[in-house]
Amino acid sequence: MAALFLFSTFAQILLMKPVLLSTAYLPPISWMAVAIQSLSIDIEVQETYPKQTYRNRCKINTSAGILSLTVPVKMTNGNHTITADIGIDNSKNWQQLHWRSIITAYNKSPYFLYYRDLFEPIYSQKHERLFDLNQTFLAAIVKGLLVKQLDIQTTRQYDFKPNGYDFRNSFHPGNATPQGIHIELPRYLQVFEPNHGYIPDLSIIDLLFNMGPDTLPYLATAKLSIQEGSMYRRIFDPDMVDAK
């Protein structure tokens, strides 16, 4: 199964057990750090779709502070719709709104011009399913990071007790930090920090547009601690990694 990330000298530590993640629209930095440090991942698509999560929204940094960009969705089976079947409401002009917001927020960042061609064409396309849109953006992000190989599998059925690390609901825009895992994300320079201070764990595009080629080593060396029972086990020390 898996999302296998292979990249030269940066990946010093890997989560050796399978990792289960939700799909995410331009994922938060913490989500990407976990993905990059995972030997294998599955994206959950068989769950009943939960509203108001990173599955269809992201946070970017603007001159006025945090701006949430939300993809309008269609639930074909109402509240019983699974994530795999979530459609996109393309009757709304959300693509133009999102891209204009991104340009306004990042056109003065150091690496926006370098990476804009990865993202701009996607906003001119019309995807029918949210998952397909998210995977298209994820592929663009991985290309920008210069990750050599990416192989992602999706779930075929919902597993209430998966084998490995279950982070399906760990990343939520309503929580200041991820749940069930502690991630130490170092500060980096942000364009609007003089306006309103430093804002942690924004969309991965904030990190990419501000750090450029240094984004991958930043993600690959972020320190992770997994909560297992009542204890956290730090896994950035190779001698403490459970390699079963």
Name the band, by pLDDT with cuts 50, 70 and 90, for residue 236.
Answer: very low
Least confident of 34-38, 124-128, 202-206, 236-240: 236-240
Q: What is the pTM of this model?
A: 0.88
Distant-in-sequence, close-in-space partners of 102: CB < 8 Å, separation ≥ 6:
60, 69, 119, 205
Residue 107 has what DSSP assignment? T
Q: For the residues 110-126, what does the mean pLDDT come to? A: 97
Query: How does residue 235 score in pLDDT terms, banded at 50, 70 and 90?
Result: very low
Give the model's pLDDT for residue 204.
98
Helix (H, G, I), strand (E, B) or coil at 204: helix
Reduce the DSSP state of residue 97 to 3 states and report it: helix
Residue range 72-103, pLDDT digits in tens: 999 989 999 999 999 999 999 999 999 999 99
Q: Which residue has the higher pLDDT, 185 or 40?
A: 185
pLDDT of residue 133: 98
Separation CA 225–CA 37 (nearest Å): 12
* Residue in this structure with the two tokens 């994820």, named with its chain if needed: 138
Q: What local confidence, expressed as pLDDT, does residue 14 receive?
A: 59
Residues 131-163 pLDDT 10s: 999 999 999 999 999 886 656 789 999 999 888
Cβ count within 10 A of residue 87 = 15
How many residues make up the chain in this entry?
Answer: 244
Does the pLDDT at position 110 exceed 90? yes
pLDDT at site 38: 87
- 57-67 pLDDT, tens digit per residue, is 999 999 999 99
Comparing 148 with 187, the larger pLDDT belongs to 187
Q: Quote the CA–CA distance of 34 and 11 in Å, as a whole number.
A: 12
Share of the chain above pLDDT 70, in %: 85
Coil/strand/helix, residue 124: helix
Report residue 115's pLDDT band, with 50, 70 and 90 as the boundaries.
very high
pLDDT, tens digit (0-9, with 9 covering 90-100), for 3-55: 334 443 344 445 778 899 999 999 999 999 999 998 788 999 999 999 999 99
Q: What is the pLDDT of residues 159-182, one digit of tens each?
A: 998 888 999 999 999 998 999 999
Q: Residue 54: what pLDDT?
A: 98
